[in-house]
Amino acid sequence: MRKFFFIISVMFVCVSLPVNAQGSDTILFSYTVKQTNDYVWYSPDVPQIEVMVRNASQVNRSADVILNVTTDDRRPLYSFSQSVSVDGRDSLQVNFSFNLPQCGFYRCTVIEKTKDTEKEIKRFNIGYEPEAVVCLPDYQNDILTFWNNAKKELASVAPEYSLTEIKDSSTSLRRVYRVDMKSLGGENISGYYLEPVKKGKYPTVITFMGYGSKPWIPGANDRPEYAEFVLSVRGQGLNEKDNKYGDWITYGLDNEKNYYYRGAFMDLIRAIDFVCSREKVDQRNIFAEGGSQGGAFTLAAAALDSRISCIAPYIPFLSNYPDYFKITHWPMQPVVKKQQEIGLSDAELYRVLSYFDIKNLAMWITCPVIMASGLQDDVCPPRTNFSGYNRIRSEKEYRIYPTYGHDVPPVWWSQRDAFFKKHIK
């Protein structure tokens, strides 16, 4: 397994404005929590949190600096405290070193405490040996049969591709089309397709959209060396006006054959069918990308269809449901609400979801993978990202962005493009 990670070094300065019981706004200290090791450690290194404490006043001041450490699902682990006394216009550094019980991700909170006040300075996540995070699969014995049957059902549906040129968006380099087609169950799905004007065969990028994302048309002059297709799955994006599913994550939870993502995952394969039907698409070089739900779609598409040759998921969704629901409030809350409405036991809920859990599909991925993860992400937490990633057996690498949450920095796009170019056949 290849270990490769990229991190952006940014230093955050957090200024504490303690408010005591009487409401005084006296400034005691200012703090800089250093981004030591970019908040990710690898054995044998020991995690160390370094806090610079500065006294901006003219007189000596004293306080306790506290570091609380919990697991990512908020179970208390450590609480450290160091008393500091800092002369006026002076500063000192407080260091906290500790061993972590296992590989994974943890929450840290730095607090200033005085006789009268207790003020949170900064909270942030750290990681330890992310590639060693173990998440055992919980797939059912018939998972392969389940997906093979879904694909057979999809193949029986005539796609009925329909393309309408959007002339206002087309240029001399690429023409832009609105695409409509039929997917599993006869459901209409749509997308925007950009095709180079010049003759030839072109590598193609399929972009899968985030949960409820608004549809967009890529710039026709932005990537003229590629054909591109931005898919809107059933009930989302271009198809949201016909949404009959309500909140997609909760639809059909009573049975895996009824669950929303059975059809949505087949929409991904129909998108691959579409690009393969185009004369200018080089079928040796079909790439896929997407963030959040689109990241899960990217991984699912590569797992279920070997025509995908390289993928770049970022901050991916829909992985490791049992742990996911312990770490976050969404999508746990609407799913649990629906579970209670239909009287579903926990065992039955997780049995249904196991068919759609990325960690259970990842073992089928055979193409190269680059994944991005935001260390501070509370929507698709890093543990869930790596639950699927660590079960991929093909060539892979990842990027961790230590100050990012449910987002990626601009540099990701150039890293993604470089990865695709590296793997063009």
| Strand 104-113 to 48-54 pairing | unpaired
141-161 per-position pLDDT tens digit? 999 999 999 999 999 999 999
- Tens of pLDDT, residue by residue over 338-375, are 999 999 999 999 999 999 999 999 999 999 999 999 99
**pLDDT(66) > 50:** yes
CA angle at 330 for the pair 294 and 10, rounded to the nearest 5°: 70
The CA-to-CA distance between both ends of the chain, in Å, stands at 22
Report the pLDDT value the prediction gives residue 10, as an integer from 0 to 100: 33
Cβ neighbors of 422 (< 8 A, separation 6 or more) are none
- The confidence score (pLDDT) of residue 8 equals 33
Predicted TM-score (pTM) of this structure: 0.92
Rg of the chain (C-alpha set): 25
User: How many CA atoms, within 13 angstroms, populate the side-chain half-sphere of residue 118?
Assistant: 4
Helix (H), strand (E) at residue 370: strand 369-374
User: pLDDT tens-digit profile of 5-43?
Assistant: 333 333 333 333 333 333 344 558 999 999 999 999 999
**Is there a contact between 272 and 206 (Cβ–Cβ < 8 Å)?**
yes
Please provide residue 145's backbone torsions phi and psi, each rounded to the nearest 5 degrees.
Answer: -60, -40
What's residue 4's pLDDT?
37
pLDDT above 90 (res 308): yes
Domains annotated on the chain, with CATH: 12-132 (2.60.40.2550), 143-422 (3.40.50.1820)
Q: What is the mean pLDDT of residues 190-204?
A: 98
Nearest to 332 by CA among 349, 347, 356: 349
Residue 363's nearest CA partner among 393, 383, 319 is 393
